[in-house]
Structure 1
Amino acid sequence: MSERRIPGAPALAVTLRRSGRARRISLRVSQLDGRVTLTVPNGVPEAEALAFARDKAEWIQTHLARRGGDVDIAPGSELPVEGTMRRIAPAPGRRIVLERDQILVPEATAPARLHAWLKTLARDRLVAACDDYAAQLGRGYTRITLRDTRSRWGSCTSDGALMFSWRLILAAPEVLTYVAAHEVAHLAEMNHSPAFWRTVERLYGDYRPPRAWLRSEGSGLHRYRF
């Protein structure tokens, strides 16, 4: 893969990827990081592929604008915590304090301190939710780990280990608890069969709204850069 520039106002960075399996030129705009990938079949001249991308420049710009830009975490920027947008402000003391519309963070180490604090808060919320759902289900889990995953919000292994994205703490509480219920349900049903979804509904209730939110809006949680 290699990067190319498409002239325009502004110019567009495009990652050109050759593929022996591709049958036609295609474009993809990642909702996770905004990367524009131009997939080109082997044998198609690069000039033809770049001309295709130039013709689609307006389409690319529309999708990039819909995603929104990345947000570098710093004093004055805004960040959602448990679904509520809050402005990051300098803390008068040494502790991070969550208020209704702002987060007070010691200024000298704001991004690193806030990142660690959010992961701790995410773990607290997820452990509480998983303990509750596991008790309802009558099944125990072995451990909970947090990662910054991009392809999934959670997982459950055959030995009962649960994994979650710490970024769930940025979403509304009902989204986080839905994902917890989803993964705990796998302790009983290691599949996505009708029986599995009945288990999720028994634990959580109507899971369709938070599931739909994650599909349509969840990628936006990856915009925040620490």
Structure 2
Amino acid sequence: MLTMKKPVIILVLIVLLFFSGYINHNLTLRANSKVSSDYQRYEEFEMVKRFELDEKDLVEAISEGDGDEVDIEILDTIEGKNLGDITQETNKIIGQEISRETSMQSKNYFIEQRLARDKLRASLIDRINEIVNNENTSDETRTEAQKKIMAIGDLAEKELTIEGLIKAKGFEEALVFLTEENLKIIVSVAELTEQDVVKILNIAMGETDLDADNIKIMKKY
């Protein structure tokens, strides 16, 4: 009778070991999932925090002062000069950042640079709004500032459209930076062929008034 029970006991032990391993496996998966989720949230938090610092640096770079100095700038005898200055400075920073080799090496390049571009643009609009809302601003300068804000909005909308059209052509990702003078396009592709360039150029020239000479296309390596 004892020998008959041994197989049963062994079978029970095997079943228990199986369920124990199964439960342990599921607990491990849940733990790993939580760690992965927490790490992703941490990365996103660090990314946003880093760009908030970059935005602060930008404001300091394009601002020549606060308080009374702002009033002096607005009352500059050359109407609209400061609007152009702060716009060019912002565009320069965005253009340099999206083309920087260290930026392109990031695995989150498209997320990071799209976020940076949009935040820097938002900072620029805030600066222009200061001019619009300042009681010392002349009517002419205020009107020009309002037009500048609308123009920035149009550029951002075109960027979004071009990015969507490029991705619709089969590219996994695309980042577009458009100014009134030129256009930069970065695409996620292992090798940028002549056919790829033609496709992208057709889209870019169809959505803007820019010539091919003013459109730069790069791949994210």
TM range (shorter): under 0.3
Instruction: Specify the structure having the higher radius of gyration (Cα).
Output: 2
- Calculate the TM-score normalised by the size of structure 1: 0.26
Q: Is the helix fraction higher in 1 or 2?
A: 2
Q: Is the strand fraction higher in 1 or 2?
A: 1
